[in-house]
Structure 1
Amino acid sequence: MLSVLHYSKSWRWLLPSKPPHSRPYHDYVRFSTPGGVGRIPLHSPNIVGVASSRGNRSHQADYHALAALCLDVEGLRLSIRKTLNFDWVPENSKDRVARQVVFVGLYDGHGGSTVSQFLRQELHGLFESVNKSHIPELFLWIKHQGGYFKRFTGGVLAPWIHHAEDLPPLDLEARATQAFFEVDKLLSIESQAKVCGATASVAILHSIDNPARPFFSSRKLALTVAHCGDARVLLCSTDGGFVYPMTEDHHPDTPVEATRLRRMGSALITDSFGDSRWMGALANTRAIGDLRYKPYGVTPEPEVRTKLLEGKDWAYIVMVSDGVSSILSDDEIVDLAREGPTPKAAADRILAFSQELGSEDNATVVVVPLAGWGEVRGPDKTLALREFRRQQSVGNERQRRIQISQTCPQASG
């Protein structure tokens, strides 16, 4: 039997004490059967595919997490009504399967791996356990960060700042926002978190079938993405294999971030590679950690988007860190996954091609199959382009070796 995930011992001192039996999140998915309840392990390569590499870096700062959470049914119902205009009423509101969501997190660390490792170990537990009664205290801590946050009015948490106990449960957007801010608060006593941080992109999959089905066979699946940084979460349709992005990069020169940060004054610097850096240091203006930059507008507030996935209209979700997306286009990423016989094989194909084209950064790919897995119709739109890029990459590598041998003949020997 698969064991319940427990808080990491190395971080346990940062978190409220809870007995093991009160942590109901698991690394398996429950589903109803005529004879009872079955279990499917999330870490099976046939269920969720993961491929990761540290590239030519000295350490790995990319991490991921998979977990099945049990959330408040009223909060789930309110989320679906608010974002999808859909009235979901489970057959049994106390049924753990109906309240179950699958949590898929991708974390890309920078300046070190302290924050990304913490997210891998703890964010799913915090996402499940955040309490609306803690929002007033959290709000005071956020305001105390000063600078940019002096004007912070609470965002989506605003309704719960006063008289939190009298309000409805947290919907998924508020739950994600509280969890992301809570991580910063917990890390505020960790010196490394002042100088390093991580992007965080989380996909929440909730079957709204009656009875609930596993995410890979759901006829109606609510997908909620909470995103902070520049990882990518991409949907692939079965009709034509078209890509539907669920995220946008939070770089300082993108319109939404440039508008948000304009009142902080000009602190946007272009480095020697032509990349924009906020405060001359950060590629991402939304991140967890990077605490010394928080007064200057770096925020952990996630951008939250929700989509109702109908039946077999969607084949899979692909999540990639920027070690992949900086090399491959969204279309190339989803097309590469089409030929994988399993989610793991699909993830391996994407990672291998990005490395073939020269990716040297930490890189992670997560492939999540949906009801339309293996049923993508239409041509592979980027096949010719990928072959051209492959040949070009081989030619560039051959030219590089010739130049090295001419400059330093002994190296060719």
Structure 2
Amino acid sequence: MSITRLARLASGSGPLVGLPRMAAVSLCPRRLHAPSDERRSGTRFDADSSGRPTTWDSFGIWDNRIDEPILLPSSIRYGKPIPKVSLSKVGCASLIGRRKENEDRFRLSQINNNLIYFAVFDGHGGPGAADFCHRYMETFIKDLVADEGNLEVVLTRAFLEVDSALAENLQHSFDEPGANAGTTATVALLRDGIELVVASVGDSRAMLCRKGKALKLTVDHTPERKDEKDRIKRSGGFITWNSLGQSNVNGRLAMTRSIGDFDLKDMGVIAEPETKRVSLSHVHDSFLALTTDGINFIMNSQEICNVINQCHDPKEAAQRISEQALQYGSEDNSTIMVVPFGAWGKHTSSDSGFSFSRSFVSSGRWA
């Protein structure tokens, strides 16, 4: 493929049809072997001798910090350049904090040629439920996606089927320790590098950084939500508050949806997730972050977004966020996954923001 055609593809000018099929072609200027007299400083050069320098920012890759090829079939299908998301570039970190055991789990994998899976699970009452989801959620999704094209339907059915399978697995051990364990679940599927679908139960979160701002993709399932509280009460459950003012279902569970927690299923605690679908804009979207409440309770979404935007790569970002949460006073397991997109490195901020939760912890009222 010629430099001219690549440049036009990256800048958004010229048709995408008729391009040869291949797995991926890099559009990063440092990997284009243009003649020396066509090169310019930074990320601009007059590739097609039109007198107008090509601006690679129109593709979204900023400052060459994430050097990824494009997915040519997807780019042709959607009519715009779509960068490949490589699992090797994803940053993950999970710290035990001051707990005796780390009950958080995370997983990422390539489901098939055009579908990637990302997930975090925050177990409670023992790691059993989180371990089960970590092991089998991906398998259920893989089986369902073979026959169902709607990813929101796939994720909803996968959550419910995993919950049922866990119940069946525990049906003869309800009197054993950990038999009533449960877990949050926040799962994201990325199809064709552009269709992002997220499903969640509990209070682990998914957040998209768009134009430097945090865009929440999930809403916590807690008794503080009127719709959630009303369902619990209609089902015969009740809400109590602890000494810190935190609400709990039947005095035990801080969330109203989860996988597991079978002793509270009749009280309105359900495994059906809420889902959200987003079409990515790699010119504006920098990353997806999945986090457990060891981070969420101590750092707000915009603060997390700002800190990540100060980091050189996603692996450094994940490590810094997990460590910073502990430094700020979190005693819980702290897990984060950072998935870079086309605009990685484009938006930076020196504003660390303000977290009410951190102020609350600093006052000495942490339980």
User: Taking structure 2 as the reference length, what is the TM-score of the superposition?
Assistant: 0.70
Q: In the alignment, what sits opposite 1:402? A: none
Which of 216, 226, 246 aligns to 1:245? It is 216
Q: In the alignment, what sits opposite 2:186? A: 201
Instruction: Give the deviation of 1:295 after TM superposition.
Output: 1.3
State whether residues 228 and 301 of structure 1, in contact with CA within 8 Å, keep that contact through their aligned partners in structure 2: yes
The total of aligned residue pairs comes to 279
Q: SS state of the match for residue 311, structure 1?
A: coil
Instruction: Give the deviation of 1:262 after TM superposition.
Output: 3.5
Q: In the alignment, what sits opposite 2:140? A: 126
Q: SS state of the match for residue 382, structure 1?
A: coil
Instruction: Give the deviation of 1:263 after TM superposition.
Output: 1.3
Q: In the alignment, what sits opposite 1:62? A: 104
Q: Kindly tell me: are residues 115 and 270 of structure 1, through their superposed partners in 2, closer, same or farther at Cα, counting changes over 3 Å?
A: same
Matches within 5 A, 1:12-411: 32-33=23-24, 44=88, 47-70=89-112, 97=113, 100-130=114-144, 169=148, 171-188=150-167, 189-190=169-170, 191=173, 194-207=179-192, 215=193, 221-238=194-211, 241-265=212-236, 267-376=238-347, 379-382=349-352, 385=354
Counterpart CA distance in 2 for 1:298 and 1:42 is 36
State whether residues 42 and 66 of structure 1, in contact with CA within 8 Å, keep that contact through their aligned partners in structure 2: no
Query: What whole-Å deviation, never above 9, does each CA across 1:241-286 have from its counterpart, x for those lacking one?
Result: 1110000000012123123333124510111221101011001111
Q: SS state of the match for residue 280, structure 2?
A: strand
The residue type equivalent to 2:23 in the other structure is S
State whether residues 232 and 238 of structure 2, in contact with CA within 8 Å, keep that contact through their aligned partners in structure 1: no
Q: Which portions of structure 1, spanning 4 or more consecutive aligned residues, are displaced by more than 3 angstroms? A: 40-43
Counterpart CA distance in 2 for 1:170 and 1:297 is 30
- Decide which moves more: 173-182 or 333-342: 173-182
Instruction: Give the deviation of 1:381 after TM superposition.
Output: 3.3
State whether residues 184 and 291 of structure 1, in contact with CA within 8 Å, keep that contact through their aligned partners in structure 2: no
Q: SS state of the match for residue 141, structure 2?
A: helix
Percent of matched pairs sharing the same residue: 32
RMSD of equivalent CA atoms: 2.7
Structure 2: unaligned runs, 5 residues or longer? 1-21, 26-70, 73-83
* Structure 1 or 2: more helix by fraction: 1
Counterpart CA distance in 1 for 2:246 and 2:313 is 36
The residue type equivalent to 1:119 in the other structure is C
The residue type equivalent to 2:203 in the other structure is D
State whether residues 155 and 199 of structure 2, in contact with CA within 8 Å, keep that contact through their aligned partners in structure 1: yes
State whether residues 63 and 116 of structure 1, in contact with CA within 8 Å, keep that contact through their aligned partners in structure 2: yes
Counterpart CA distance in 2 for 1:266 and 1:286 is 13
Q: SS state of the match for residue 130, structure 1?
A: helix
